[in-house]
Amino acid sequence: MAGLRGPTRVVVICLSDEDDQAAELVKAAAPIPVVFYDGKPKPCVPIVQTYAQALGEIDADFFIFAHQDVRGNIPAWVKNGLDVMGQHDFLGVIGWDKHGKQFWGNTTQTTVIDKCDECCFAFYKDSGLSFDPKLHWTNYSHDLCYRTTCAGHRALCVPNNIGHAQHRHGPWFVKQGFYHKDQAYVRAKWAGKLSRMR
């Protein structure tokens, strides 16, 4: 694919535990290749660790990190993103601005966001972004958005028709306290820097 930086090698990374879901994601992403990591309980490696591993071992320019239940026209979303992104920017599918307004299917133009949903997001490998090893299953996309913003770059939402199903493990992460613990960690980590910027 091509964007502001010229020809770009794009890949989708997914931690998957359902073969039928994986097959549908491949259709949504085509012709972009999808690399799957095994998410079947063993227990499986946490998603943040899996994503960090993929970023380190796969030879590509632009990484999309997607849950297995993501559907829609992924290449169109990527093209819209590559057309406006700089090297250090971050791209989300579902985002919220600092006032809490949500941008998703209602996004008609490039919009700066404060944080984004973890279902699908992307960035350039050479952006300098990395995954915080203190996070395991939740709030990693929020962390990346804040990291981008605090570095003086943009977290963006662009027009897209991507959707996803209710994450079947989401309520469990909330009930077990993982989500709120990770959320508190991320907020505390970036609170001072974000408050100075706003």
DSSP E strands in the chain: the ranges are 2-3, 6-7, 10-16, 34-38, 62-66, 70-71, 90-92, 95-96, 102-103, 111-112, 115-116, 120-124, 155-157, 163-164
Residue 168: predicted pLDDT = 61
- Rounded Cα distance between 92 and 110, Å, is 11
- Roughly how many angstroms between the first and final C-alpha of the chain, as a whole number? 35
Provide the residue type at 149 as one letter: T
Q: Report whether 122 contacts 91 (CB < 8 A).
A: yes
Kindly report, residue by residue over 16-68, the tens digit of the pLDDT: 988 888 999 999 999 999 999 987 877 778 899 999 999 999 999 999 999 99
Kindly report, residue by residue over 64-121, the tens digit of the pLDDT: 999 999 999 999 999 999 999 999 999 999 999 989 999 987 788 999 999 999 999 9
Residue 151: predicted pLDDT = 94
Question: What stretch of H or E contains 126?
Answer: none
The residues spanned by each domain of the chain are 2-197
Residue where the block lists tokens 């490998």: 125
Alpha-carbon dihedral 103, 104, 110, 111, rounded to 10 degrees: 20
Residue 178: predicted pLDDT = 72
Domain 2-197 has CATH 3.90.550.10: yes
User: What's the predicted TM-score (pTM) here?
Assistant: 0.92
